[in-house]
Structure 1
Amino acid sequence: MLNIASAQITSSAAASAFFARWADMATWPQWNSDTEWVRLDGPFAAGSTGVLKPKGGPKTKFVIAELADDRFVDVSKLPGARMTFDHRVTETPDAGTGVTVTVTLTGPLSRLWNAILGKGIKATLQQDLEGLKAAAEASRTTRSTTGSLA
């Protein structure tokens, strides 16, 4: 496995606000600068598939490989490789909600895909996560100072 990039933020938004943004894939281009459009071909659930169009790149099929209370994993299918976006959410009463996104590649052509895509992903992953944070915080589901949902 090849680790391409990781990014993390802390937010006042509840974990559910992040999952709501991820589930509404049609709005991803509003906070993800690399995405032209996304289509999910079913519910936001493990096993569902879809297609995304990165800006300047070809359409890419993906599958939601895992969806849990604290994790959302989507895997893009590339010729000779799989690119995994692992989104993890942690809530703590003191620090708010933490979100970490890690991007990895596996497969025989992972080094080639890293050479093609790695630099761009590294350059924009933190910026895109900050955009997601702003979108999540703009929603009505935020954490109060006591740690409960407001």
Structure 2
Amino acid sequence: MMTLGSATRISTAAPAAFFACWGDMAGWPEWNADTEWVRLDGPFAAGSTGVLKPKGGPKTKFVITELTDTVFTDVSLLMGARLTFHHTVAPTAEGGTEVAVTVTLAGPLARLWNVILGKGIAASLGRDLAALVRTAEGERGAEGAVAA
């Protein structure tokens, strides 16, 4: 397994606000600049599957492999590799949230996919996480309640 990159940000939004953003997959393009659209085929729950369309890339199937009150992990199923996005949230002592994402590649064709995707993903992680923080803070507020 190889790590493509990771990013961490501190936010005033509650952890629930991040799960609200992640669970609203149709809204991902608002904070993930590399995503054209996402469709989830079922509830936002571990084991659910879907399809996403990266900008300039082919449709990709994914599965939610872990979903708890502190972790959201989704795995994109590439030919010969698995691209894993592991997201975590943790409350801070100041009443905010530390949100982090780590992206890894595994499988027999991981090195090839790293050449194709690695630099782009590594370059966009910080930007997209900052946009997610703005979305969580702006649309759901510091307390994590979804705006009406």
User: Normalised by the shorter chain, which TM-score bucket?
Assistant: over 0.9
Please give the alpha-carbon distance, in whole angstroms, between the structure 2 residues aligned to 1:128 and 1:92: 21
Please give the alpha-carbon distance, in whole angstroms, between the structure 1 residues aligned to 2:18 and 2:91: 12
Please give the alpha-carbon distance, in whole angstroms, between the structure 2 residues aligned to 1:122 and 1:23: 23
Please give the alpha-carbon distance, in whole angstroms, between the structure 2 residues aligned to 1:46 and 1:141: 26
Shift of 1:93: 3.2
TM-score with structure 1 setting the length: 0.93
SS in structure 2 of the partner of residue 138 of structure 1: helix
* Identical residues among aligned pairs (%): 66
Q: Is the 8 A contact 1:16 1:141 kept in 2?
A: no
Structure 2: give runs of 5+ residues left out of the alignment: 144-148
Q: How does 1:55-94 map to 2 (within 5 A)?
A: 55-94=55-94
CA-to-aligned-CA distance 1:105-134 (integer Å, 9 cap, x gap) = 000000000000001001111000001000
CA root-mean-square deviation:
0.9
2:21 matched residue in structure 1: 21
CA-to-aligned-CA distance 1:71-115 (integer Å, 9 cap, x gap) = 000000000000000000000232610011000000000000000
Shift of 1:23: 0.1
Structure 1 outlier segments of 4+, above 6 Å: none
Aligned residues: 143
TM-score with structure 2 setting the length: 0.94
> Residue 46 of structure 1 aligns to which amino acid in structure 2?
A
CA-to-aligned-CA distance 1:47-69 (integer Å, 9 cap, x gap) = 00000000000000000000000
Please give the alpha-carbon distance, in whole angstroms, between the structure 2 residues aligned to 1:126 and 1:95: 22
Q: Is the 8 A contact 1:10 1:95 kept in 2?
A: no
SS in structure 1 of the partner of residue 72 of structure 2: strand
Please give the alpha-carbon distance, in whole angstroms, between the structure 2 residues aligned to 1:15 and 1:94: 13
Structure 1: give runs of 5+ residues left out of the alignment: 144-150
Shift of 1:142: 1.0
Please give the alpha-carbon distance, in whole angstroms, between the structure 2 residues aligned to 1:126 and 1:140: 21
Please give the alpha-carbon distance, in whole angstroms, between the structure 2 residues aligned to 1:118 and 1:92: 30
